[in-house]
């Protein structure tokens, strides 16, 4: 059951909006802070008082101002909060975050939910809170669709060949030479580059290094 909630959000209007959503779910009087340092301090003090928080709702991006902060962003706050209270449930409510960032937050920091700020975010926030209260994770629909596209992309034999050669340290010119020598078509540099870009888009990788690391991790090559 979720009752005691801490909101870490640097925009007052968003803070108030989250509080209103919580009230509609009959969760009253959440604590809120505008700085990550203050959030971590609240979590520490609550633990010491045997009155720990059930849930942390945090943004990822916090704007800098005159006040110096040891923890400057939501990702660092999540890691620090997890370190001192491993069982704390965490919901990210943010307009920022690439799919790779979101995936890392779920995998490495074991967050319980992520909601994009934007259209219908109040409805999504309610759904996320209901899921988390039932000890289930909440994945944003946009992220789910991206993951489906990522998982449904099928690599063919040609893709596997060029990815394996890249994993072995071959440059694109060397890959082209290998393909020509073994009568594998297409073998031109432009064709190799286009194919790599297509695979990167499908698997949500921005660089060749990320692509190879992902394929190795997933045991594709």
Going along the chain from its start, the domains and CATH numbers come out as 5-140 (3.40.50.2300), 153-217 (1.10.10.10)
Q: Give buried/exposed letters for 194-208 (b at 16+ CB in 10 A, else e).
A: ebbeebbebbbbeeb
Q: What is the pLDDT of residues 66-106, one digit of tens each?
A: 888 899 899 999 999 999 999 999 999 998 767 778 888 88
Q: Provide the pLDDT for residue 77.
A: 97
pLDDT digits (tens, 9 = 90+) for 182-191: 998 888 888 8
Q: Crossing angle, helix 208-217 and helix 157-167, to 10 degrees?
A: 110
Q: How far apart are CA 6 and CA 2, in angstroms?
A: 11
Residue tagged 């596997």 (tokens): 160
- Euclidean distance between CA atoms 198 and 12, whole angstroms: 42
User: Which one is predicted more confidently, 42 or 122?
Assistant: 42
| Percentage of the residues of the chain whose pLDDT score is greater than 90 | 43
- Report DSSP letters for 24-54, one per residue: HTT----EEESSHHHHHHHHHHHHHTT---S
């Amino acid at each position: 059951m979720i009752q005691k909630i801490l909101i870490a959000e640097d925009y007052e209007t968003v803070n108030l909006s989250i509080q209103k959503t919580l009230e509609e779910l009959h969760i009253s009087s959440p604590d809120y802070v505008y700085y990550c340092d203050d959030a971590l301090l609240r979590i520490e003090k609550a633990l010491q008082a045997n009155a720990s928080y059930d849930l942390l709702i945090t943004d990822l991006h916090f704007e800098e101002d005159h006040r110096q902060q040891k923890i400057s962003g939501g990702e660092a706050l999540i890691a620090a909060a997890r370190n001192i209270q491993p069982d704390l449930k965490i919901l990210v409510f943010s307009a920022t975050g690439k799919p790779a960032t979101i995936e890392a937050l779920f995998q490495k920091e074991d967050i319980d939910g992520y909601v994009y700020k934007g259209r219908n975010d109040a409805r999504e926030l309610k759904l996320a809170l209901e899921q988390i209260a039932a000890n289930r994770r909440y994945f944003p629909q946009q992220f789910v669709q991206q993951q489906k596209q990522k998982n449904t992309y099928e690599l063919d034999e040609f893709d596997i060949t060029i990815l394996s050669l890249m994993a072995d340290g071959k440059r694109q010119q060397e890959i082209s030479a290998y393909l020509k020598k073994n009568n594998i078509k297409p073998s031109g540099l432009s064709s190799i580059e286009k194919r790599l870009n297509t695979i990167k888009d499908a698997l949500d990788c921005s660089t060749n290094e990320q692509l190879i690391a992902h394929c190795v991790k997933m045991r594709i090559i």
